[in-house]
Amino acid sequence: MGAVFVALWAAAIIVGRKGEAARAALVAQAGVKA
């Protein structure tokens, strides 16, 4: 059970980082267009 929790926690961090990177890219594109 603990291993599953750790796996989900790690996945959440990875997805969160990808989300932040995508958000930063969108903000950068919006800044360039503006």
Average predicted confidence (pLDDT) for the chain: 87
Q: What is the DSSP letter of 1?
A: -
Q: Where are the domains of the chain?
A: 1-34
Rounded CA gap, 27 and 23, in Å? 6
Side-chain half-sphere CA neighbours of 2 within 13 A: 0
DSSP assignment of 2-32, as one string?
A: HHHHHHHHHHHHHHHHHHHHHHHHHHHHHHH
* Tens of pLDDT, residues 1-34: 799 999 999 999 998 899 898 888 888 888 876 5
pLDDT, residue 29, reads 87
